[in-house]
Amino acid sequence: MNSAHELSTLIDALRGLHRDSAPKAALATLTRTRGSTFRRPGTRMLVFEDGRVVCELSGGCPQRDIVARAFEVMAHGEPRLVRYNADSGLDVLIEMGCGGELEVFIEPLLASHDTDFIDTLARCLDERQQVQLATLFAVDDKAMMPRRQIWNGHNILHDSIHDLALSQAIIHNITTSSTRHASTLRLPSERGVADVLVEAIAPPHALVIIGSSAAARALLPLASALGWQTTLVDHDSSRLQASNLPANLKTVCATPTNLPNILPLDAHSSVVVMTHNLEHDLAYLSALKDTPAIYIGALGSRERVARMRNSTALNGLHLHAPAGLDIGSETPEEIALAIAAEIMAVINQRNGGSLRDNDGTIH
Are the C-beta atoms of residues 183 and 41 closer than 8 Å to each other? yes
Full-model pTM = 0.87
Q: Report the distance separating Cα 138 and Cα 150, nearest Å.
A: 18
Neighbours of 325 (CB within 10 A): 19
Could you tell me the end-to-end alpha-carbon distance of the chain, in angstroms, rounded to an integer?
Answer: 19
Are the C-beta atoms of residues 274 and 285 closer than 8 Å to each other? no
Angle at 341 (CA atoms; ends 336, 347), nearest 5 degrees: 130
Q: Which amino acid is at 152?
A: N
Closest Cα partner for 118 from 13, 41, 235?
A: 13
Going residue by residue through the chain, which has 363 residues, state the pLDDT in tens, using 9 for 90 and above: 788 888 999 999 999 999 998 899 999 999 998 887 778 899 999 999 999 999 988 756 688 899 999 999 999 999 999 998 766 555 454 444 556 788 999 999 999 999 999 999 999 999 999 999 999 999 999 999 999 999 999 999 999 999 999 999 999 999 998 777 899 999 999 999 999 999 999 999 999 999 988 899 999 999 999 999 999 999 999 999 887 888 889 999 999 999 988 998 999 999 999 998 899 999 999 999 989 999 999 998 888 889 998 899 899 899 999 999 999 999 999 999 999 999 999 998 988 888 776 655 555
- Write the burial class of residue 178 (CB in 10 Å: 0-12 exposed, 13-18 middle, 19+ buried): exposed
Q: Which domains does the chain have, with CATH numbers?
A: 1-115 (no CATH), 120-203 (no CATH), 206-347 (3.40.50.720)
Phi-psi category of 42—alpha, beta or left, where left has phi over 0 and alpha has psi -120 to 50? left
What's the pLDDT score for residue 34?
A: 87
What's the pLDDT score for residue 77?
A: 97
Closest Cα partner for 158 from 130, 219, 116?
A: 116
What's the pLDDT score for residue 359?
A: 59
Are the C-beta atoms of residues 158 and 117 closer than 8 Å to each other? yes
